[in-house]
Structure 1
Amino acid sequence: MAVLLCPVSAWAWGSDGHKIVAVVAADNLTAAAASHVADILGVSADKRAIATAMEAASIRPDFEFRDEDPLTRPWHFIDICLQDRRADVAARCPGGNCVTGKIDEYSKRLKESSYDRWGAAGDLAFLIHFVGDIHQPLHAANDEDHGANCVTVDSNTRAKNLHEVWDTTIVRRLEDSIDSGRPETTAHKLERTYAPEKEADSWIAADDVAWESNQLARSDIYAALHIPIEPCQPTADVCLNPLGHAVELDASYLNHADAVAGHQLVKAGFRLASLLNEIWTQPAGPNDGPHAGQANSAPAQVVSSKTVAGQIVFVGNRRSKIYAWPGCGTYDKMAPANRVVFASREAAEQQGYRAARNCP
């Protein structure tokens, strides 16, 4: 019953937070890495175009991939208990089925051009998103409370729990304090503020980043709010509020949290750029694109209608490389610019598309 009453959120930083990370990273890519990112996301090598494409990619795992495959949900966090030591981190990611394992996996896939069922654009979207996730302190901490999803809050915010406060409320406050309300403006302001730290914020091992975030959660969230440490067994799937009552978040705490979040967001952006720069040290060549080997394939026609001459139209999303048909998948939700029509399932699959998993 406790678990049912405390649904788990995996939306670290919310949409705006992930977009901030993406913009900071785009601003700090080398020319070589930028050419690969532009090629994979299908945009020009212009910095602004790359930033916009990376923003869009950064939120796909929350708004597209998790609905398509719920098994991806544990990939967004790692349950490091508050009493764990650094040596315990690896054991908290059994089978690589957590955010640290997936960062390592998708980094390798992109480096080796060995993509999984989401293709190059999907794999890059996962990596962008997961580097943002791992810098949200509550995505690397557990106190038998699902990363504070079960800790209710008493404040003037709309958030229902402490995790949600850190996911979205604090990011919105940060944007408002910069008087922007826009991820791009906030990202550029944070870049200027923390520019002296850029060189120090190069990519480090994913386990080390997770441990760093866990330590931040201990000191600036749990200890700062006097939340007691509970015996922790992440596999038990227990959802408790260690305090037994709502935690009060006063202005002083929220102001400090704004500063911590801003620092984490820009650090994530710097580190994401560093990681992508390590993956791609040479510019993209003609055989490096996600569609290499399909140069002789006839281009698909962009349409928005459901049928042509009374026949079922199979529509693919040119970004995700997933196709659907009327009544299933995201058929009616695809942006017109991304819609590609095929005469049959076979035609779609010959072009490298796969069927949406929720289609019969």
Structure 2
Amino acid sequence: MRRLVSTLIITIFLLTPTKAFTWGFQGHEYIGEMTWNYLTPEARQWVQERMDYVGEDSLATMTTWADRVRGTEEGRWLGPLHFANVPPEEDYFDMERDCPNRRCVVAAAIDDVKIMMDPERSLEEQAKALRTFTHWITDMHQPLHMGFQRDRGGNDIRVTFFGSETNLHRLWDTVLIRGMDEMPGPAMQAELNPLPEKEDDWSLAIVDWANDSYHLARGNAYPQAEDGAQLGERYFRQARPIVESQLIHAAQRMALIINDAASR
């Protein structure tokens, strides 16, 4: 019965026309809401002040801002910052090789964190950095945002999933999350998964997290998913724990960084 419910949800979603967004709004908002549950009282106040400044109602909705402005001049300028590409023959992400002019999701996240950690920066600067940081850190945890340039992070790989055609990037962005009907809600997820220890160097940590995503893309998202592949229950069962784990990691890491910024 559980398998049937998951299959029906996935099939209905695949047949519904949607606009392709990174992690889907559902994934971003899930991470943002889970993050809020990890924040200290001091950090919640710090975030609230900055959300008020840029007119955002919640941390969950703030995570979607960079997608909401797509199609605008500002959104087009931000376009390359949603992802980074690594050559498939390489074992790791390299900032100099894979992030020219620091125009990629990894450098964008690092640059925003530096602003957030600097108490000398203005409220406006920190508010805008927080607004984009919440999106970059969530994007970076979707493995195919650290995918291969040759297929645009899976966008050019057409697959059939439970009998319906989609592309590999959209499958990981939105379809797999919509099929995870039994996943705990954000508050329960935070309760089940306590925060790990804070990192000593956020820039190094962000690069490490980016590499974790690249390795998941290379080792788990791409295998079995060549162009024209027929995917179903087996692929879903393999991908499901990865998607859930990445949602949790994104929320925990966002919270650790915000808690640290608010304490300065």
TM range (shorter): 0.7 to 0.9
Q: Which has the higher helix share?
A: 2
User: What amino acid maps onto 1:26 in structure 2?
Assistant: W
Q: Which has the higher contact order (CA 8 A, sep 6+)?
A: 2
CA distance in 2, matches of 1:75, 1:58: 14
1:54 to 49, 55, 59: 59
2:39 to 3, 25, 29: 29
Per the alignment, residue 167 of structure 2 pairs with 161
Conservation of the 8 A alpha-carbon contact between 1:115 and 1:123:
no
1:93 paired with 2:99, answer yes
Q: Structure 2: which 5+ residue stretches go unaligned? A: 1-18
How has the CA–CA distance of structure 1 residues 68 and 143 changed in structure 2, closer, same or farther, with 3 Å as cutoff?
closer
Per the alignment, residue 133 of structure 1 pairs with 139
CA distance in 2, matches of 1:213, 1:72: 21
How has the CA–CA distance of structure 1 residues 167 and 87 changed in structure 2, closer, same or farther, with 3 Å as cutoff?
closer
1:109 to 100, 106, 115: 115
CA shift for structure 1 position 143: 5.5
How has the CA–CA distance of structure 1 residues 92 and 31 changed in structure 2, closer, same or farther, with 3 Å as cutoff?
same
CA distances 1:6-39 after superposition (whole Å, capped 9, x unpaired): xxx9832110100111112111112332221011
CA shift for structure 1 position 89: 4.2
CA shift for structure 1 position 256: 2.2
CA shift for structure 1 position 157: 6.8
Per the alignment, residue 72 of structure 1 pairs with 78
Q: Secondary structure at the match of 1:205?
A: helix
Q: What percentage of residue pairs aligned between the two structures are identical?
A: 25
CA distances 1:84-143 after superposition (whole Å, capped 9, x unpaired): 133734420111110111111111122235469x85433211111111001000001105
CA distance in 2, matches of 1:19, 1:254: 22
CA shift for structure 1 position 59: 0.6
Q: Secondary structure at the match of 2:185?
A: helix
1:173 paired with 2:179, answer yes
Per the alignment, residue 256 of structure 2 pairs with 274
CA distance in 2, matches of 1:53, 1:42: 9
Per the alignment, residue 208 of structure 2 pairs with 208
Per the alignment, residue 330 of structure 1 pairs with none
Conservation of the 8 A alpha-carbon contact between 1:90 and 1:207:
no
1:265 to 247, 259, 262: 247
Q: Structure 1: which 5+ residue stretches go unaligned? A: 1-8, 44-49, 179-184, 228-242, 283-360
How has the CA–CA distance of structure 1 residues 192 and 253 changed in structure 2, closer, same or farther, with 3 Å as cutoff?
farther
Conservation of the 8 A alpha-carbon contact between 2:38 and 2:190:
no
CA shift for structure 1 position 205: 2.0
Per the alignment, residue 196 of structure 2 pairs with 199
Conservation of the 8 A alpha-carbon contact between 1:201 and 1:270:
no
CA distance in 1, matches of 2:93, 2:240: 30
CA distance in 1, matches of 2:159, 2:198: 32
RMSD: 2.6
Per the alignment, residue 13 of structure 1 pairs with 23
CA shift for structure 1 position 249: 1.2
CA distance in 2, matches of 1:159, 1:111: 44
CA distance in 1, matches of 2:164, 2:44: 38
Per the alignment, residue 233 of structure 2 pairs with 251
Larger radius of gyration: 1
User: What amino acid maps onto 1:188 in structure 2?
Assistant: A
Count of aligned pairs: 239
User: What amino acid maps onto 2:205 in structure 1?
Assistant: A
Q: Secondary structure at the match of 1:248?
A: strand
CA distances 1:173-219 after superposition (whole Å, capped 9, x unpaired): 12x224xxxxxx62224334434xx3168566221111110001111
Per the alignment, residue 63 of structure 1 pairs with 68
CA distance in 1, matches of 2:260, 2:157: 39
CA distance in 2, matches of 1:64, 1:115: 23
